Structure 1
Amino acid sequence: MDKTFEMGGQHVDRMGFGAMQLCGPGVMGQPADRDQALAVLRRALELGVNHVDTSEFYGPHVSNQLIREALHPYAEDLVLGSKVGAHRDEAGAWLPSQSPEDLIRDTHENLETLGLDRLHVMNLRVMPKDDHAPACYQPVPLDEQLDAMRRLVDEGVIEHFGVSTVTAEQAAQGIEAGAVQVQNAYNLRSRGDEATLELCRDKGVAYVPYFPLGSAFGWFPRVDEDPAVVRVAERLGHSPAQVGLAWLLHHAPNVLLIPGTSKLAHLEENMGAADVVLSAQDVAELEAL
């Protein structure tokens, strides 16, 4: 199993880190233990992570501020990826920020907070109108948003862009426009996005699953609580979380993981997933869920 994947011309370690959980409850406000949050970021790089995922709307501003405090000046091989396309209100609601002007402004805001002149990859978080959107919100056509992302690349503000929270059709449109990664919800127990993953694999595009172990918010069932996962983990001498992450790494070579945590012990556990070896029998047992 390959340990790295080439994304945007750079070899990225497939075990990365997602900074969302460094924020306070509900991804709002400061962490309960700021010193530990900073220590987690520094330890992640010591363990070999060279891909960190973040966004200005985590906190908001908090995860980017923590990354800058912990890691700046940044290592030359560190790939920082962020996201635009949404913002938070005072109550913590996720609201659309989708116009070309919004995307360009928010990209520059990310760069300023991170202390960068240029970002390796910026992901466009697609937010279709739903019951949580303001009544005045009108969805911005995806091609207009992609044009804005290409403009940011052409102007040298970002090196590459990706798309997030997209259908398979939208992913194809994004890849055609030049996206180097797709971020969607996907894990062993929630495999409804297989078509998008296969598309990315065929096109040589990175696939970055969020909620790789399910969701603590209750949106997806927990992978590490499934009896089959627990059974395989006990047989192999690893934790259920490590087995759930290892399955993703074994499932497709273009999968890049960004599991997040605010705890050092949990970080060490997650990183151990890269060393888990799954046999054909193990995989068959897991995929029979």
Structure 2
Amino acid sequence: MTEHTPEHTTRTTGQTAGRTSITLGGDLRTGRVGYGAMRLTGTHLWGEYPDRDSGITLLREAVEAGVTLIDTADVYGPHTNELLIREALHPYPEDLVIATKGGFVRGGVDLSSIDAVGNANYLRQSAQLSARRLGVERIDLYYLHSGWAQDASFEDQVGTLAELRRQGVIRHIGLSNVTTEQLRAARGITEIAAVTAHFNVVDRHETALLDATVEAGAVFVPWQPVSLTRPGTPTDTDGPEAVRRLLGPIAARHGATVSQIALAWLLSRSPAVMPIPGTTSIKHVQENLAAQDLELTPEEIRSITDLTPEK
């Protein structure tokens, strides 16, 4: 993750060439499928990943396999995820983009202890410390991790990130856990390169945000993109096994896994969609990357889209 230029190109592997590439912020070229590193932490995202050596090996093998974007956050651990990435990959390959986030704090192992903080001093400190932990002078993509902090207005939070961008601490700004209205407000303040949200074949509650992101010329980054559990309805008739029965025949026709079909469907939504599946298995990393080369038929895309209402 050294200094990038608009002329920079990614590896010319099957994973990142041609239609399987995407551009962040107008100048960062990466593959269509990134890697979400959140699972490389302890239980409930607290503390070190239990098998540090295997975590380091996984990150190195993932980059070797063709991953060109890794997504993390300062609250993962907290801090341990960013430090693990640095230990595994620094000095970073020229074509590797690392995205991180700031704006959440944790009071302990209980996930209910997570809260949003957005005042300028805290966000400035968070970005500077993330850069230090990652071992970079400038963070390629820095997300505001939450749009619902109470200690500063949303507009002021985005303004702080815009200031950090002008100062050279971050290269591009992203948004996480925001509404379509907040996206529009943020665009009135500064350029937004990416928006990340929960979106997959069974959870479409952020469809309007996806559409607004694409319309804005930014990249939409679905997290948990291969989840098959419908929110609030993990029943026998409406749960993951039922979804698998619907996607299974499509996967069989392509010689693929159900997860690969779920990713291929996401990629078909727009050239501006870049899923970031997380896994602790290099085999799954390789399968996720291979999903970039799958081409679903219009009928298959339509049948998957009809699985759940668009919202």
Q: TM-score, normalised by structure 1?
A: 0.91
Q: How does 1:264-283 map to 2 (within 5 A)?
A: 264-283=282-301
State the SS of the aligned residue for 1:213. Answer: coil
Corresponding residue of 2:76:
58
Task: Report the residue type matching 1:170 in the other structure.
Answer: Q
Q: 1:200 to 1:102 in 2, by over 3 A?
A: same
- Say yes or no: does 1:15 pair with 2:33: yes
The aligned residue for residue 138 of structure 2 is 118
- 1:168 is aligned, of 161, 168, 180, to 180
In the TM superposition, what whole-angstrom CA distance separates every residue of 1:21-74 from its partner, at most 9, and x where no partner exists?
111221111222222211111111112211111111101111111100110001
CA distance in 1, matches of 2:53, 2:293: 28
Residue 94 of structure 1 is matched in structure 2 by 114
Return the letter of the residue paired with 1:214. S
Aligned length: 281
What is the correspondence of 1:127-138 to structure 2 with a 5 Å cutoff?
127-128=147-148, 138=150
State whether structure 2 residue 44 is matched by structure 1 residue 26. yes
CA RMSD of aligned residues (A): 2.1
Please state if 1:193 is matched with 2:206: yes
Q: Which one is further off, 62-71 or 23-32?
A: 23-32
Match of 2:127 among 81, 95, 107: 107
Q: CA deviation at 1:220?
A: 8.3
Equivalent-residue separation in structure 2 for 1:111 and 1:201 (angstroms): 28
Residue 19 of structure 2 aligns to a residue whose secondary structure is coil
For 1:250, the equivalent position in structure 2 comes to 268
Q: Which amino acid aligns with 1:210?
A: W
The answer to whether residue 26 in structure 2 is matched with residue 6 in structure 1 is: no
- One of 61, 65, 68 as aligned partner of 1:43: 61
Deviation at 1:275, TM superposition (A): 2.0
Give the match's secondary structure for 1:261: coil
Instruction: Note the residue ranges of structure 2 that are not aligned, 5 or more in a row.
Output: 1-17
Correspondence for 2:103: 85
Gaps of 5+ in 1: 130-137
Are the structure 2 counterparts of residues 223 and 151 from structure 1 closer, same or farther at C-alpha, using a change threshold of 3 Å?
farther
Question: Which contiguous aligned blocks of 4+ residues in structure 1 show a shift greater than 3 angstroms?
Answer: 215-225
Note the alpha carbon deviations across 1:229-282, whole angstroms, 9 max, x for none: 223212322111111011111111101121111122222222221122211111
**Distance apart, 1:175 and its partner CA:** 2.8
CA distance in 2, matches of 1:125, 1:174: 14
Percent sequence identity is 32
